[in-house]
Structure 1
Amino acid sequence: MRVLVTGATGRLGRVVVPRLRDEGFTLRATSRRPRTGDGVEWVSTDLATGAGLAEAVAGVDAVLHLASSPQRRTHEIDVLGTRRLTMAAGHAGVRHLVYVSIVGVDRVPIPYYRHKLAAEEVVAAGSVPWSVLRATQFPEFLADLLKGASRLGPVIGDRAVLAQPVDPADVADRLAVLLLAGPSHRVEDFAGPQVLRFDEAARTWLAARRVRRPLLPVRIPGRLGRELRGGGLTTTATPTGTRTWADYLVDTYGGTGGR
Protein backbone atom coordinates (compact mmCIF):
# COMPACT_ATOMS: atom_id res chain seq x y z
CA MET A 1 0.00 0.00 0.00
CA ARG A 2 1.31 3.43 -0.96
CA VAL A 3 0.52 5.99 1.74
CA LEU A 4 1.00 9.75 1.91
CA VAL A 5 1.71 10.98 5.45
CA THR A 6 1.13 14.66 6.18
CA GLY A 7 2.72 16.18 9.25
CA ALA A 8 5.45 13.55 9.05
CA THR A 9 7.94 15.67 11.02
CA GLY A 10 5.60 16.29 13.98
CA ARG A 11 5.56 14.54 17.33
CA LEU A 12 3.30 11.75 16.09
CA GLY A 13 4.66 11.73 12.55
CA ARG A 14 8.20 11.01 13.76
CA VAL A 15 6.88 7.80 15.34
CA VAL A 16 4.37 6.85 12.65
CA VAL A 17 6.74 7.05 9.67
CA PRO A 18 9.25 4.41 10.86
CA ARG A 19 6.41 2.24 12.20
CA LEU A 20 4.63 2.13 8.85
CA ARG A 21 7.89 1.79 6.93
CA ASP A 22 8.86 -1.23 9.01
CA GLU A 23 5.38 -2.70 8.47
CA GLY A 24 6.02 -2.68 4.72
CA PHE A 25 4.04 0.36 3.60
CA THR A 26 5.50 2.43 0.76
CA LEU A 27 5.58 5.96 2.15
CA ARG A 28 5.53 9.45 0.75
CA ALA A 29 5.83 12.14 3.43
CA THR A 30 5.14 15.86 3.35
CA SER A 31 7.21 18.69 4.71
CA ARG A 32 7.07 22.44 4.13
CA ARG A 33 10.82 22.38 3.42
CA PRO A 34 12.76 19.98 1.17
CA ARG A 35 13.96 16.88 3.02
CA THR A 36 15.54 13.53 2.32
CA GLY A 37 16.16 10.34 4.26
CA ASP A 38 14.24 8.06 6.65
CA GLY A 39 13.58 5.58 3.84
CA VAL A 40 10.63 7.56 2.47
CA GLU A 41 9.92 9.83 -0.49
CA TRP A 42 9.68 13.43 0.70
CA VAL A 43 7.54 16.05 -1.05
CA SER A 44 7.18 19.75 -0.24
CA THR A 45 3.62 20.95 0.38
CA ASP A 46 1.83 23.85 2.03
CA LEU A 47 -1.66 23.23 3.35
CA ALA A 48 -2.21 26.97 3.78
CA THR A 49 -1.89 27.61 0.05
CA GLY A 50 -2.40 24.18 -1.49
CA ALA A 51 1.05 24.26 -3.08
CA GLY A 52 2.33 20.78 -3.89
CA LEU A 53 -0.81 18.91 -2.83
CA ALA A 54 -1.75 17.64 -6.29
CA GLU A 55 1.73 16.18 -6.73
CA ALA A 56 1.75 14.76 -3.21
CA VAL A 57 -1.47 12.74 -3.58
CA ALA A 58 -0.79 11.52 -7.12
CA GLY A 59 -0.55 7.74 -7.26
CA VAL A 60 -1.12 7.00 -3.56
CA ASP A 61 -3.69 4.55 -2.21
CA ALA A 62 -4.29 6.28 1.11
CA VAL A 63 -3.60 9.53 2.92
CA LEU A 64 -2.76 9.62 6.63
CA HIS A 65 -3.44 13.21 7.66
CA LEU A 66 -1.49 14.17 10.78
CA ALA A 67 -0.62 17.78 9.98
CA SER A 68 -1.95 20.41 12.38
CA SER A 69 -1.11 23.92 13.57
CA PRO A 70 -2.46 24.50 17.09
CA GLN A 71 -0.56 27.73 17.75
CA ARG A 72 -1.07 29.84 14.64
CA ARG A 73 -3.20 30.02 11.48
CA THR A 74 -5.19 27.09 12.82
CA HIS A 75 -8.36 27.66 10.80
CA GLU A 76 -6.39 28.26 7.64
CA ILE A 77 -4.28 25.13 8.00
CA ASP A 78 -6.41 22.66 9.95
CA VAL A 79 -9.78 23.41 8.38
CA LEU A 80 -9.17 25.06 5.02
CA GLY A 81 -5.97 23.08 4.51
CA THR A 82 -7.81 19.84 5.20
CA ARG A 83 -10.41 20.85 2.63
CA ARG A 84 -7.67 21.50 0.07
CA LEU A 85 -6.14 18.11 0.84
CA THR A 86 -9.42 16.19 0.59
CA MET A 87 -10.27 17.86 -2.70
CA ALA A 88 -6.85 17.04 -4.15
CA ALA A 89 -7.12 13.47 -2.91
CA GLY A 90 -10.58 13.13 -4.44
CA HIS A 91 -9.36 14.34 -7.82
CA ALA A 92 -6.44 11.87 -7.62
CA GLY A 93 -8.70 8.90 -6.87
CA VAL A 94 -7.31 8.22 -3.39
CA ARG A 95 -9.26 5.35 -1.83
CA HIS A 96 -8.88 6.10 1.89
CA LEU A 97 -8.20 9.18 4.02
CA VAL A 98 -7.40 8.65 7.70
CA TYR A 99 -7.59 11.79 9.83
CA VAL A 100 -6.13 11.99 13.34
CA SER A 101 -8.12 14.13 15.76
CA ILE A 102 -8.40 14.43 19.54
CA VAL A 103 -10.71 12.82 22.08
CA GLY A 104 -13.00 15.52 23.45
CA VAL A 105 -13.18 17.84 20.44
CA ASP A 106 -16.97 17.54 20.60
CA ARG A 107 -17.13 18.25 24.35
CA VAL A 108 -14.30 20.43 25.60
CA PRO A 109 -14.70 24.16 24.70
CA ILE A 110 -11.15 24.92 23.57
CA PRO A 111 -10.76 26.98 20.36
CA TYR A 112 -8.23 24.57 18.88
CA TYR A 113 -10.65 21.69 19.45
CA ARG A 114 -13.37 23.51 17.53
CA HIS A 115 -11.04 23.65 14.54
CA LYS A 116 -10.24 19.95 14.83
CA LEU A 117 -13.95 19.12 14.94
CA ALA A 118 -14.55 21.29 11.89
CA ALA A 119 -11.74 19.44 10.10
CA GLU A 120 -13.41 16.12 10.95
CA GLU A 121 -16.58 17.42 9.33
CA VAL A 122 -14.63 18.42 6.22
CA VAL A 123 -13.21 14.90 5.95
CA ALA A 124 -16.62 13.27 6.42
CA ALA A 125 -18.21 15.53 3.79
CA GLY A 126 -15.50 14.91 1.21
CA SER A 127 -15.54 12.46 -1.68
CA VAL A 128 -12.72 10.25 -0.36
CA PRO A 129 -13.75 7.24 1.81
CA TRP A 130 -12.55 8.03 5.30
CA SER A 131 -11.79 7.03 8.88
CA VAL A 132 -11.17 9.31 11.87
CA LEU A 133 -9.09 8.34 14.88
CA ARG A 134 -9.47 10.56 17.93
CA ALA A 135 -6.51 10.03 20.26
CA THR A 136 -6.10 11.27 23.82
CA GLN A 137 -3.18 13.45 24.90
CA PHE A 138 0.38 12.17 24.63
CA PRO A 139 2.45 11.76 27.82
CA GLU A 140 4.88 14.41 26.54
CA PHE A 141 2.02 16.91 26.39
CA LEU A 142 1.04 16.14 29.98
CA ALA A 143 4.68 16.51 31.09
CA ASP A 144 4.94 19.87 29.29
CA LEU A 145 1.73 20.97 30.98
CA LEU A 146 3.12 20.04 34.39
CA LYS A 147 6.35 21.90 33.67
CA GLY A 148 4.37 25.00 32.79
CA ALA A 149 2.14 24.62 35.83
CA SER A 150 5.18 24.48 38.14
CA ARG A 151 7.28 27.30 36.72
CA LEU A 152 6.47 29.53 39.72
CA GLY A 153 7.32 26.83 42.27
CA PRO A 154 4.26 24.84 43.32
CA VAL A 155 2.37 22.76 40.78
CA ILE A 156 -0.75 24.77 40.07
CA GLY A 157 -3.82 23.07 38.65
CA ASP A 158 -7.28 21.61 39.08
CA ARG A 159 -6.61 18.40 40.98
CA ALA A 160 -9.77 16.67 39.69
CA VAL A 161 -9.10 17.12 35.96
CA LEU A 162 -8.95 13.72 34.28
CA ALA A 163 -6.51 12.62 31.58
CA GLN A 164 -5.83 9.32 29.81
CA PRO A 165 -2.42 9.71 28.15
CA VAL A 166 -1.65 7.47 25.19
CA ASP A 167 1.81 6.67 23.90
CA PRO A 168 2.48 7.81 20.30
CA ALA A 169 3.83 4.34 19.49
CA ASP A 170 0.48 2.83 20.46
CA VAL A 171 -1.30 5.36 18.23
CA ALA A 172 1.04 4.48 15.38
CA ASP A 173 0.17 0.82 15.79
CA ARG A 174 -3.55 1.61 15.70
CA LEU A 175 -3.16 3.75 12.59
CA ALA A 176 -1.46 0.86 10.81
CA VAL A 177 -4.48 -1.30 11.65
CA LEU A 178 -6.90 1.33 10.33
CA LEU A 179 -4.99 1.72 7.08
CA LEU A 180 -5.01 -2.02 6.47
CA ALA A 181 -8.69 -2.33 7.38
CA GLY A 182 -9.83 0.28 4.87
CA PRO A 183 -12.40 3.08 5.24
CA SER A 184 -14.78 2.74 8.19
CA HIS A 185 -16.74 6.00 7.70
CA ARG A 186 -16.79 6.43 11.45
CA VAL A 187 -15.00 8.20 14.29
CA GLU A 188 -13.03 5.96 16.63
CA ASP A 189 -11.64 6.95 20.05
CA PHE A 190 -8.26 5.63 21.15
CA ALA A 191 -6.66 6.21 24.54
CA GLY A 192 -4.07 4.96 26.97
CA PRO A 193 -4.82 2.17 29.44
CA GLN A 194 -5.20 4.37 32.55
CA VAL A 195 -7.28 7.38 33.57
CA LEU A 196 -5.37 9.76 35.86
CA ARG A 197 -6.38 12.71 37.99
CA PHE A 198 -4.20 15.79 37.63
CA ASP A 199 -2.97 15.55 41.20
CA GLU A 200 -2.04 11.88 40.77
CA ALA A 201 -0.12 12.60 37.57
CA ALA A 202 1.65 15.55 39.23
CA ARG A 203 2.73 13.56 42.30
CA THR A 204 4.21 10.71 40.26
CA TRP A 205 5.90 13.18 37.89
CA LEU A 206 7.51 15.03 40.80
CA ALA A 207 8.63 11.77 42.42
CA ALA A 208 10.19 10.53 39.18
CA ARG A 209 12.19 13.78 38.93
CA ARG A 210 13.17 13.75 42.63
CA VAL A 211 11.53 17.12 43.06
CA ARG A 212 9.65 18.20 46.18
CA ARG A 213 7.00 20.78 45.42
CA PRO A 214 3.53 21.32 46.84
CA LEU A 215 0.37 21.07 44.77
CA LEU A 216 -1.62 24.31 44.72
CA PRO A 217 -5.21 23.47 43.77
CA VAL A 218 -6.94 25.96 41.47
CA ARG A 219 -10.39 25.00 40.24
CA ILE A 220 -10.99 25.68 36.53
CA PRO A 221 -14.29 27.58 36.28
CA GLY A 222 -17.24 27.25 33.95
CA ARG A 223 -18.04 24.68 31.32
CA LEU A 224 -14.38 24.09 30.53
CA GLY A 225 -13.69 22.98 34.08
CA ARG A 226 -16.82 20.83 34.23
CA GLU A 227 -15.90 18.99 31.04
CA LEU A 228 -12.28 18.47 32.09
CA ARG A 229 -13.29 17.15 35.50
CA GLY A 230 -16.11 15.12 33.97
CA GLY A 231 -13.87 13.10 31.68
CA GLY A 232 -14.08 15.13 28.50
CA LEU A 233 -10.52 14.14 27.64
CA THR A 234 -11.05 10.44 28.37
CA THR A 235 -12.94 7.57 26.80
CA THR A 236 -14.19 4.09 27.61
CA ALA A 237 -13.53 2.91 24.06
CA THR A 238 -11.54 -0.24 23.44
CA PRO A 239 -9.02 -1.33 22.43
CA THR A 240 -6.62 0.94 24.27
CA GLY A 241 -2.89 1.42 24.12
CA THR A 242 -0.69 -0.53 26.49
CA ARG A 243 1.98 1.90 27.65
CA THR A 244 1.18 3.78 30.85
CA TRP A 245 2.13 7.14 32.33
CA ALA A 246 4.45 5.21 34.67
CA ASP A 247 6.16 3.65 31.65
CA TYR A 248 6.76 7.12 30.23
CA LEU A 249 8.22 8.34 33.52
CA VAL A 250 10.58 5.35 33.68
CA ASP A 251 11.74 5.94 30.10
CA THR A 252 12.20 9.67 30.63
CA TYR A 253 13.44 10.04 34.19
CA GLY A 254 14.40 6.54 35.28
CA GLY A 255 11.24 6.03 37.31
CA THR A 256 10.28 7.10 40.81
CA GLY A 257 13.35 8.37 42.62
CA GLY A 258 15.44 8.68 39.46
CA ARG A 259 16.40 11.42 37.05
Structure 2
Amino acid sequence: MTTILVTGGTGTLGRLVTERLRSDGHEVRVLSRHSEPYAVDLREGGSGLDAALAGVDTVVHCATTQRGGDERSAANLIAAARRAGATHLVYISIVGVDRVPLGYYRSKYAVEKLVAESGIGWTVLRATQFHDLVVQMLRALAKLPVVVLPAHASDQPVEVAEVADRLAELAQGAPAGRVPDMGGPEVRTFASLARAYLGATGRRRAVVNVPLAGRTYRAFRAGGHLAPEHAVGEGTFEEYLAGRFGHREGGRRRG
Protein backbone atom coordinates (compact mmCIF):
# COMPACT_ATOMS: atom_id res chain seq x y z
CA MET A 1 0.00 0.00 0.00
CA THR A 2 1.32 3.42 -1.02
CA THR A 3 1.03 6.53 1.12
CA ILE A 4 -0.15 9.42 -1.03
CA LEU A 5 -0.56 13.09 -0.14
CA VAL A 6 -3.17 15.10 -2.04
CA THR A 7 -2.80 18.86 -1.76
CA GLY A 8 -6.03 20.77 -2.13
CA GLY A 9 -7.70 17.51 -1.16
CA THR A 10 -10.94 19.19 -0.07
CA GLY A 11 -11.42 21.02 -3.38
CA THR A 12 -13.55 20.11 -6.38
CA LEU A 13 -10.85 17.98 -8.00
CA GLY A 14 -8.76 16.98 -4.99
CA ARG A 15 -11.73 15.52 -3.12
CA LEU A 16 -12.52 13.18 -6.02
CA VAL A 17 -8.87 12.19 -6.46
CA THR A 18 -8.74 11.33 -2.76
CA GLU A 19 -11.86 9.17 -3.03
CA ARG A 20 -10.49 7.30 -6.05
CA LEU A 21 -7.15 6.56 -4.40
CA ARG A 22 -8.72 5.42 -1.14
CA SER A 23 -11.10 3.13 -3.00
CA ASP A 24 -8.02 1.54 -4.58
CA GLY A 25 -6.65 0.76 -1.13
CA HIS A 26 -4.06 3.50 -0.65
CA GLU A 27 -3.45 5.49 2.51
CA VAL A 28 -4.27 9.05 1.49
CA ARG A 29 -3.48 12.20 3.44
CA VAL A 30 -5.45 15.34 2.63
CA LEU A 31 -3.58 18.63 2.88
CA SER A 32 -5.42 21.94 2.83
CA ARG A 33 -5.43 25.10 4.89
CA HIS A 34 -8.34 24.00 7.08
CA SER A 35 -8.30 20.18 7.02
CA GLU A 36 -6.94 18.55 10.14
CA PRO A 37 -4.63 16.85 10.90
CA TYR A 38 -2.73 18.29 7.92
CA ALA A 39 -3.99 21.88 7.95
CA VAL A 40 -1.14 23.65 6.19
CA ASP A 41 -0.88 26.84 4.16
CA LEU A 42 1.53 25.82 1.40
CA ARG A 43 2.55 29.43 0.89
CA GLU A 44 4.00 29.41 4.40
CA GLY A 45 5.42 25.87 4.55
CA GLY A 46 6.91 25.03 7.92
CA SER A 47 6.98 22.02 10.21
CA GLY A 48 3.36 21.14 9.48
CA LEU A 49 4.25 20.50 5.86
CA ASP A 50 7.16 18.26 6.85
CA ALA A 51 4.85 16.28 9.14
CA ALA A 52 2.30 15.86 6.34
CA LEU A 53 4.97 14.49 4.00
CA ALA A 54 6.70 12.15 6.44
CA GLY A 55 6.60 8.67 4.94
CA VAL A 56 4.80 9.80 1.78
CA ASP A 57 5.72 8.11 -1.49
CA THR A 58 3.63 10.12 -3.96
CA VAL A 59 2.29 13.67 -3.95
CA VAL A 60 -0.67 14.75 -6.09
CA HIS A 61 -0.58 18.53 -6.24
CA CYS A 62 -4.09 19.90 -6.84
CA ALA A 63 -3.94 22.99 -4.62
CA THR A 64 -4.12 26.26 -6.56
CA THR A 65 -5.42 29.80 -6.31
CA GLN A 66 -5.95 32.61 -8.78
CA ARG A 67 -5.05 35.11 -6.07
CA GLY A 68 -1.31 34.46 -6.44
CA GLY A 69 1.21 32.37 -4.57
CA ASP A 70 1.15 29.13 -6.58
CA GLU A 71 4.86 29.29 -7.37
CA ARG A 72 5.83 29.88 -3.74
CA SER A 73 3.51 27.06 -2.65
CA ALA A 74 5.02 24.68 -5.18
CA ALA A 75 8.56 25.57 -4.17
CA ASN A 76 7.75 24.88 -0.49
CA LEU A 77 6.04 21.61 -1.37
CA ILE A 78 8.90 20.42 -3.56
CA ALA A 79 11.52 21.24 -0.92
CA ALA A 80 9.58 19.33 1.72
CA ALA A 81 8.96 16.40 -0.64
CA ARG A 82 12.69 16.14 -1.30
CA ARG A 83 13.42 16.17 2.43
CA ALA A 84 10.85 13.41 2.95
CA GLY A 85 12.25 11.26 0.15
CA ALA A 86 9.05 11.25 -1.95
CA THR A 87 9.58 9.56 -5.30
CA HIS A 88 6.69 10.82 -7.44
CA LEU A 89 5.13 14.27 -7.83
CA VAL A 90 1.95 14.52 -9.92
CA TYR A 91 0.75 17.96 -10.98
CA ILE A 92 -2.52 19.02 -12.62
CA SER A 93 -2.12 21.94 -15.01
CA ILE A 94 -4.22 23.60 -17.72
CA VAL A 95 -4.17 23.19 -21.48
CA GLY A 96 -2.62 26.29 -23.03
CA VAL A 97 -0.53 27.55 -20.14
CA ASP A 98 2.38 27.93 -22.57
CA ARG A 99 0.25 29.65 -25.24
CA VAL A 100 -2.21 31.97 -23.48
CA PRO A 101 -0.62 35.09 -21.88
CA LEU A 102 -2.95 35.14 -18.88
CA GLY A 103 -1.34 35.77 -15.50
CA TYR A 104 -2.83 32.66 -13.87
CA TYR A 105 -1.75 30.50 -16.82
CA ARG A 106 1.77 31.87 -16.64
CA SER A 107 1.89 30.94 -12.96
CA LYS A 108 0.73 27.38 -13.72
CA TYR A 109 3.38 27.09 -16.44
CA ALA A 110 6.04 28.27 -14.01
CA VAL A 111 4.95 25.59 -11.54
CA GLU A 112 5.23 22.98 -14.30
CA LYS A 113 8.86 24.00 -14.74
CA LEU A 114 9.50 23.79 -10.99
CA VAL A 115 8.05 20.28 -10.94
CA ALA A 116 10.12 19.18 -13.93
CA GLU A 117 13.30 20.58 -12.36
CA SER A 118 12.55 19.28 -8.84
CA GLY A 119 14.83 16.27 -8.95
CA ILE A 120 11.81 14.10 -8.03
CA GLY A 121 10.15 11.73 -10.47
CA TRP A 122 7.29 13.73 -11.96
CA THR A 123 4.12 13.61 -14.03
CA VAL A 124 2.20 16.60 -15.41
CA LEU A 125 -1.31 16.39 -16.83
CA ARG A 126 -2.91 19.37 -18.56
CA ALA A 127 -6.71 19.44 -18.77
CA THR A 128 -9.20 21.82 -20.32
CA GLN A 129 -11.64 23.77 -18.14
CA PHE A 130 -14.05 21.85 -15.90
CA HIS A 131 -17.78 22.09 -16.53
CA ASP A 132 -18.39 23.76 -13.18
CA LEU A 133 -15.92 26.56 -13.96
CA VAL A 134 -17.79 27.32 -17.17
CA VAL A 135 -21.05 27.42 -15.19
CA GLN A 136 -19.52 29.81 -12.64
CA MET A 137 -18.55 32.18 -15.43
CA LEU A 138 -21.94 31.96 -17.14
CA ARG A 139 -23.83 32.44 -13.87
CA ALA A 140 -21.96 35.69 -13.28
CA LEU A 141 -22.57 36.89 -16.84
CA ALA A 142 -26.27 35.97 -16.68
CA LYS A 143 -26.88 38.38 -13.81
CA LEU A 144 -27.27 41.09 -16.44
CA PRO A 145 -30.19 41.29 -18.89
CA VAL A 146 -27.79 40.53 -21.76
CA VAL A 147 -25.08 37.85 -21.69
CA VAL A 148 -22.06 39.46 -23.35
CA LEU A 149 -19.49 36.97 -24.66
CA PRO A 150 -16.17 37.23 -26.51
CA ALA A 151 -16.79 36.75 -30.21
CA HIS A 152 -15.14 33.93 -32.18
CA ALA A 153 -14.07 32.13 -28.98
CA SER A 154 -14.73 28.55 -27.94
CA ASP A 155 -14.16 26.21 -25.02
CA GLN A 156 -13.82 22.47 -24.50
CA PRO A 157 -15.15 21.70 -21.00
CA VAL A 158 -14.35 18.37 -19.40
CA GLU A 159 -15.98 16.41 -16.59
CA VAL A 160 -13.97 16.84 -13.39
CA ALA A 161 -14.63 13.26 -12.28
CA GLU A 162 -12.92 11.99 -15.43
CA VAL A 163 -9.88 14.15 -14.74
CA ALA A 164 -9.82 12.81 -11.18
CA ASP A 165 -9.84 9.25 -12.50
CA ARG A 166 -6.93 10.02 -14.80
CA LEU A 167 -4.93 11.71 -12.03
CA ALA A 168 -5.50 8.76 -9.69
CA GLU A 169 -4.35 6.41 -12.44
CA LEU A 170 -1.19 8.47 -13.01
CA ALA A 171 -0.48 8.67 -9.28
CA GLN A 172 -0.48 4.89 -9.05
CA GLY A 173 1.92 4.51 -11.95
CA ALA A 174 5.55 5.38 -12.51
CA PRO A 175 6.63 8.98 -13.18
CA ALA A 176 5.77 9.72 -16.81
CA GLY A 177 6.79 13.33 -17.40
CA ARG A 178 4.39 15.41 -19.49
CA VAL A 179 1.54 13.09 -20.47
CA PRO A 180 -0.99 13.75 -23.28
CA ASP A 181 -3.46 16.53 -22.63
CA MET A 182 -7.01 15.74 -21.55
CA GLY A 183 -9.82 17.63 -23.25
CA GLY A 184 -13.58 17.45 -23.09
CA PRO A 185 -15.57 15.65 -25.81
CA GLU A 186 -16.58 18.77 -27.77
CA VAL A 187 -15.16 22.13 -28.77
CA ARG A 188 -18.10 24.50 -28.29
CA THR A 189 -18.60 28.19 -28.98
CA PHE A 190 -19.20 30.26 -25.86
CA ALA A 191 -22.58 31.23 -27.29
CA SER A 192 -23.56 27.55 -27.55
CA LEU A 193 -22.51 26.90 -23.96
CA ALA A 194 -24.35 30.01 -22.76
CA ARG A 195 -27.59 29.00 -24.47
CA ALA A 196 -27.35 25.51 -22.99
CA TYR A 197 -26.85 27.00 -19.52
CA LEU A 198 -29.72 29.44 -19.90
CA GLY A 199 -32.03 26.65 -21.04
CA ALA A 200 -31.01 24.38 -18.18
CA THR A 201 -31.59 27.09 -15.56
CA GLY A 202 -34.79 28.53 -17.07
CA ARG A 203 -33.29 31.97 -17.63
CA ARG A 204 -34.26 34.18 -20.56
CA ARG A 205 -31.37 36.33 -21.71
CA ALA A 206 -30.17 37.68 -25.02
CA VAL A 207 -26.70 36.42 -25.97
CA VAL A 208 -24.42 38.93 -27.65
CA ASN A 209 -20.96 38.25 -29.07
CA VAL A 210 -18.55 41.19 -28.83
CA PRO A 211 -15.06 41.32 -30.41
CA LEU A 212 -12.35 42.13 -27.90
CA ALA A 213 -8.77 43.30 -28.16
CA GLY A 214 -5.49 42.23 -26.64
CA ARG A 215 -3.05 39.33 -26.72
CA THR A 216 -4.98 37.16 -24.29
CA TYR A 217 -8.19 37.41 -26.33
CA ARG A 218 -6.30 36.65 -29.53
CA ALA A 219 -4.80 33.55 -27.92
CA PHE A 220 -8.22 32.33 -26.77
CA ARG A 221 -9.74 33.10 -30.17
CA ALA A 222 -6.95 31.07 -31.80
CA GLY A 223 -7.79 28.12 -29.57
CA GLY A 224 -4.59 28.13 -27.55
CA HIS A 225 -6.53 26.69 -24.58
CA LEU A 226 -8.10 23.84 -26.57
CA ALA A 227 -7.03 20.26 -27.21
CA PRO A 228 -9.27 18.98 -30.03
CA GLU A 229 -6.75 16.25 -30.85
CA HIS A 230 -7.15 14.97 -27.27
CA ALA A 231 -10.94 15.06 -26.92
CA VAL A 232 -10.89 12.00 -24.66
CA GLY A 233 -13.50 13.13 -22.15
CA GLU A 234 -16.94 11.57 -22.45
CA GLY A 235 -19.28 13.64 -20.27
CA THR A 236 -20.92 16.46 -22.24
CA PHE A 237 -21.87 19.90 -20.99
CA GLU A 238 -25.58 19.09 -21.37
CA GLU A 239 -25.15 15.95 -19.28
CA TYR A 240 -23.45 17.99 -16.57
CA LEU A 241 -26.23 20.59 -16.67
CA ALA A 242 -28.93 17.92 -16.48
CA GLY A 243 -27.26 16.35 -13.46
CA ARG A 244 -26.87 19.67 -11.68
CA PHE A 245 -30.05 21.55 -12.61
CA GLY A 246 -32.42 18.87 -13.85
CA HIS A 247 -33.50 18.40 -17.45
CA ARG A 248 -35.39 21.41 -18.81
CA GLU A 249 -34.67 21.19 -22.53
CA GLY A 250 -34.14 18.23 -24.80
CA GLY A 251 -31.48 17.84 -27.43
CA ARG A 252 -27.83 18.67 -27.63
CA ARG A 253 -26.56 22.04 -28.70
CA ARG A 254 -23.53 22.26 -30.91
CA GLY A 255 -21.68 24.99 -32.68
TM-score w.r.t. the length of structure 1 is 0.91
In structure 2, the partner of 1:172 is: 164
Q: By how many angstroms is 1:99 displaced?
A: 0.7
- Segments of structure 1 that go 5 or more residues without pairing to the other structure are 36-41
In structure 2, the partner of 1:49 is: 44
Alignment check: 8 A CA contact 1:209 1:257 kept: no
Q: By how many angstroms is 1:120 displaced?
A: 0.7
Q: Does 1:58 align with 2:51?
A: no
CA distance in 1, matches of 2:202, 2:168: 37
Question: Amino acid of the residue matched to residue 54 of structure 1?
Answer: D
Q: State the secondary structure of the residue aligned to 1:43.
A: coil
Sort the Cα spacing of 1:180 and 1:105 in 2 relative to 1 into closer, same or farther, 3 A: same
CA distance in 1, matches of 2:215, 2:32: 37
Sort the Cα spacing of 1:120 and 1:187 in 2 relative to 1 into closer, same or farther, 3 A: farther
Q: Give deviations 1:212-247, integer Å, cap 9, x for gaps.
A: 211122112122122112112211344722111011
Q: Does 1:91 align with 2:80?
A: no
CA distance in 2, matches of 1:196, 1:44: 39
Question: Amino acid of the residue matched to residue 50 of structure 1?
Answer: G
In structure 2, the partner of 1:23 is: 24
Question: Amino acid of the residue matched to residue 174 of structure 2?
Answer: G
**Please, what is the CA RMSD of the aligned residues?**
1.6
**5 Å matches for 1:1-259?**
1-35=2-36, 42-51=37-46, 52-70=48-66, 72=67, 74=68, 76=69, 78-238=70-230, 240-257=232-249
Question: Amino acid of the residue matched to residue 100 of structure 2?
Answer: V
CA distance in 1, matches of 2:111, 2:153: 26
Sort the Cα spacing of 1:204 and 1:34 in 2 relative to 1 into closer, same or farther, 3 A: closer
CA distance in 2, matches of 1:218, 1:236: 24
Alignment check: 8 A CA contact 1:6 1:29 kept: yes
Q: State the secondary structure of the residue aligned to 1:205.
A: helix
Q: Which moved more, 1:229-238 or 1:99-108?
A: 229-238
CA distance in 1, matches of 2:229, 2:27: 30
Q: Give deviations 1:63-90, integer Å, cap 9, x for gaps.
A: 00011111x2x1x3x1011011111111
CA distance in 1, matches of 2:35, 2:149: 41
Size of the aligned set, in residue pairs, is: 248
Q: By how many angstroms is 1:187 displaced?
A: 4.6
Alignment check: 8 A CA contact 1:210 1:257 kept: no
CA distance in 2, matches of 1:34, 1:100: 21
Q: By how many angstroms is 1:190 displaced?
A: 1.0
**What is the identity percentage for the equivalent residue pairs of Structure 1 and Structure 2?**
43
Q: State the secondary structure of the residue aligned to 2:38.
A: strand
Q: State the secondary structure of the residue aligned to 1:28.
A: strand
Q: State the secondary structure of the residue aligned to 2:181.
A: strand
Alignment check: 8 A CA contact 2:45 2:73 kept: yes
Question: Amino acid of the residue matched to residue 8 of structure 1?
Answer: G
Q: By how many angstroms is 1:34 displaced?
A: 4.4
CA distance in 1, matches of 2:21, 2:212: 40
Question: Amino acid of the residue matched to residue 48 of structure 1?
Answer: R
CA distance in 1, matches of 2:81, 2:89: 8
- Segments of structure 2 that go 5 or more residues without pairing to the other structure are 251-255
Runs of 4+ in 1 over 4 A off after TM superposition: none
Sort the Cα spacing of 1:174 and 1:237 in 2 relative to 1 into closer, same or farther, 3 A: farther
CA distance in 1, matches of 2:169, 2:120: 19
Question: Amino acid of the residue matched to residue 170 of structure 2?
Answer: L
